[in-house]
Amino acid sequence: MSNIAVLNNVDHADIKISVSDTNSTSDNVNRCQIYASEITELQKEFPILIYRGEETESLQLHAILGLEKNENLFLSASGWTTRYVPALLARGPFSIGYSKNDNGEPTDPKICLDMNDARVNSNEGEAVFMPMGGESQYLQYVKKALQTIETGAQYNHTLFTLIDELDLLEPVSIQIKLSNVEQVNLNNYYTINQQKLSALEGDQLAKLNQYGILSSLFFILSSMGNFQRLIELKNAKSAVL
């Protein structure tokens, strides 16, 4: 059970976060929801697909991290092997909490910490606060991830609205044959229809560019090449086992 506390440099002066805890269930996932504002960095590392939920029909951006359940091929014994970590995972045990005003509307955001998270301790890992109470570089890194999450929902809404308006969504069937008899299938995923994107008129391209979406669509397409890296990592892992 979670134990959420508002972070402060008095009660949590000695708190540390074990960022290399590869047993953390939060990081051992084969896919992670991401935000359009981080696609520029994510496309350098991971395949990026668009997921449509079977029940709600809602769309999400996903970075693919592994080829089976609870598998993150970008984790080593010392932590992440990538240059960039998706914001939802980079935030670690931190989150944003809100007070409510007299009208019941959320206000006054605060950084919160789950004190029951296994990564939270006072012995080893990244310090949250400096000895004199200032923010550590790690906390600044976490705050940046939280900001990405905080603003990301609206950015994703814009991206999906424009994709739908221009009919750019295309179902994609991912079938991966590994070095052994195992075959991996990824279902309910979509990508951008490259032919339709290339055929857009000038005013349509200008609209995508105006909202900062155009480059993201090309990055989603180019990220598909990262599946080859996933296959290589998976085959290397299978060879060791």
Which token pair is 53?
């939920």
| pLDDT for the residue 24 | 65
Strand partners, 49: 62
Entry pTM: 0.89
What is the tens place of the pLDDT at every residue in 49-69?
999 877 767 899 999 999 888
Q: What is the pLDDT of residue 221?
A: 96
DSSP state of 192: E
Q: What is the pLDDT of residue 240?
A: 62
Report pLDDT for 108. 84
Name the stretches of the chain with pLDDT < 70: 21-24, 56, 104, 178-184, 240-241
pLDDT at 157: 94
In DSSP notation, 164-221 reads HHTT-EEE--EEEE-SSS-EEEE-SEEEE-HHHHHT--HHHHHHHHHTT-HHHHHHHH
Determine phi and psi for 108, rounding to 5 degrees: 55, 65
Structure tokens belonging to residue 209: 């560019």
- Distance CA(97)–CA(112), nearest Å, equals 6
Q: How many Cβ atoms sit within 10 Å of the Cβ of residue 207?
A: 16
Looking at residue 63, the DSSP 8-state letter turns out to be E
What pLDDT score was predicted for residue 21? 63
Sheet arrangement for strand 48-52: 31-34, 59-64, 48-52, 189-192, 169-171
The domains of the chain are located at: 4-240
